Amino acid sequence: MNQPATKVLVIGYVWPEPRSSAAGGHMMQILETFLTQGWDITFSSPATIGEHKADLPALGIAECAIELNNSSFDDFICELAPDIVLFDRFMMEEQFGWRVEKHCPAALRVLETSDLQSLRDARQQRFKDHLKAQPDNDDFSALFAPGLEDEFQRMADTDLAKREIAAIYRCDISLMISDMEIRLLTEQFKVPAALLHWCPLMMEPPTEAFAPFEARAHFLSIGNFRHAPNWDAVLWMKNSVWPLIRQQLPGAQLHVYGAYTPPKATALHNPAQGFHVMNWAEDALQVMTAARICLAPLRFGAGIKGKLADAMLCGTPNITTPVGAEAMGDEQPWPGAIAHSATALADAAVSLYQDRERWTQAQEHGRQLLARRYDLHRHGPALVECLEHCRSRLDAHRRDNFTGSMLRHHAHKSTQYMSQWIEAKNRNL
C-alpha cells in the first residue's frame, strides 16, 4: 500500500518572486526540491500579492491567503494537517509558530532564514557609524575587517538578534544560506549545530559554452531596489565608482536593473554619463549574459548574493567587495575581483573589462565555483535527507533542544495572548 504524500505547509513572509530577489529564487529552489519528492505543498502568506509573483499553481502548488492575528488560521491548519511547516523568515515563526505547535504538534517546524537579518542590520548600523566618523574616506577596508567575535559584539545586545535567534531555537531545523553565518551562530552564539542545515543557492551547473568576450559589452548591476544594501551600492556606484571607471573608459556604459524602481532611482538615470537605470529585467539571465562585467559594490549585507551566482551561471565575471563575496567562494580563485575601495573597484573593473585572457579565466573560475558549492544535485538530496532524518527522531531531537522547548513555553504564551487580544480588539471595532 502506498504511503500518503508528505504534506508541506509554507508560511511565506511574501509571495515568492524569483525574478525580483535572491530570497524569492531560493524559496523556489526549495519548493522545486520538495516537488521532486512528490510532496504535497501548500504555500500561504498574509502578504499582498506582488506584480512579479511566481505562478505556483502551474507547478502543482496550492495557494492560500492567511491573516495575521486571526483564529481562521487554526481551522485552516487543522484541516490541512501538514507533516512539515516551513516558516519563511523568523517573523512568520513569531506570528504563527504557537498556532502550529498547538494544532499540529507533531509537524516538523523548519525556519528558512534567508539570511541573518540581525547581522545585516548590525552591519548597516556599523556602516552608518563609519560614514559619520569618516565621511570623506572612500576606502572601506576597516569596515570589511571585523571577524566573528566583532560581529557578535555588535549583534548580541540588539532586540533583532534576540528575536531571530530565539526563533531558530524554537524551530526544529533552520536552513542557513551562508556557512559563515552557521559559524557565527555555533561559535559565538553557541547555537547547537544540530539545529542548523547549510542550504545555499541550488543551481544546475552550466555545461554549455558561455558567450565569449567579443560578444559582450558594457557593465551591469542588478538587484531589488527595496533591499537597502542594493540601493546603497547603486548610490556608491553613481557617486564614486562609476566616475572613476568613466575616466579610464570614456565610452563605457553601466546598465542598472532592479525590481520596484522608485523615483529616487530613476532620477539617477544619466545617459550622458553612461549611467542607465533600466528598471526591472524581464529576463535577468539574458541581460547578464549580454554584459561583460557585473558590478556589485556592496558595503553591507548578509547571506549570499543571488546576483553573483547568476553572474557565474551566465559566465559573467564580477567585481565586488568582501561583503559581496562572503560565504560565496572558497580557497580557489574568485571569478573576477574583490576590492575594498572605490578606486580599487574601478581599477579592477577597467582592467578585467579590457583583458580578454584574464576575463576568460575568471569566467571559467565561475563555472568551477558553481559546481563545487552550488550544485543542485548535491544540496537538494541533502536537504531532503536532513528533514527526513529529523522527522524520524523528532521526540529525541526536541528533548536535546531544551532551550528551544523553554523558549516556546514562555514566548508562545505571550505571543498567543497578544494575538488573541488583537483579534478580540479587531472584532469589536
Domains of the chain, first to last: 7-118+147-202+376-427 (3.40.50.2000), 213-373 (3.40.50.2000)
pLDDT reported for residue 297: 97
Rounded CA-CA distance 161/333 in Å is 33
The cell for 131 is: 560614514
Rounded CA-CA distance 152/164 in Å is 14
Q: Rounded to whole angstroms, what are the CA distances from 281 to 70, 78, 232, 257, 260? A: 37, 41, 19, 6, 11
Q: How far is CA 390 from the centre of its chain?
A: 24
Residues with Cβ within 8 Å of residue 149, at least 6 apart in sequence: 188
Comparing CA positions, the residue from 2, 189, 180, 21 lying closest to residue 89 is 21
Q: What is the dihedral of CA 392, 393, 394, 395, to 10 degrees?
A: 140
In 374-401, where does DSSP find H-type helix?
Answer: 376-392, 394-400
Rounded CA-CA distance 177/182 in Å is 9
What is this structure's pTM? 0.93
pLDDT 10s per residue in the chain (429 long)?
A: 567 899 999 999 999 998 778 888 999 999 999 999 999 999 999 999 988 899 999 999 999 999 998 999 999 999 999 999 999 999 999 999 999 999 999 999 999 998 999 999 999 999 999 999 988 888 899 889 889 999 999 999 999 999 999 999 999 999 999 999 999 999 999 999 999 999 999 999 888 999 999 999 999 999 989 899 999 999 999 999 999 999 999 999 999 998 888 999 999 999 999 999 998 888 899 999 999 999 999 999 999 999 999 999 999 999 999 999 999 999 999 999 999 999 999 999 999 999 999 999 999 999 999 999 999 999 999 999 999 999 999 999 999 999 999 988 766 556 666 666 677 777 766
Instruction: Tally Cβ neighbours within 10 Å of residue 118.
Output: 22
Write out the DSSP string of 296-350.
Answer: E--SS--S--HHHHHHHHTT--EEE-HHHHTTT--SSPPSEEE-SBHHHHHHHHH
Calculate ∠ Cα 175-86-206, nearest 5°.
55
pLDDT reported for residue 418: 66
pLDDT reported for residue 426: 76
Rounded CA-CA distance 372/179 in Å is 14
Comparing CA positions, the residue from 8, 5, 21 lying closest to residue 284 is 21
pLDDT reported for residue 339: 97
pLDDT reported for residue 414: 62
pLDDT reported for residue 421: 65
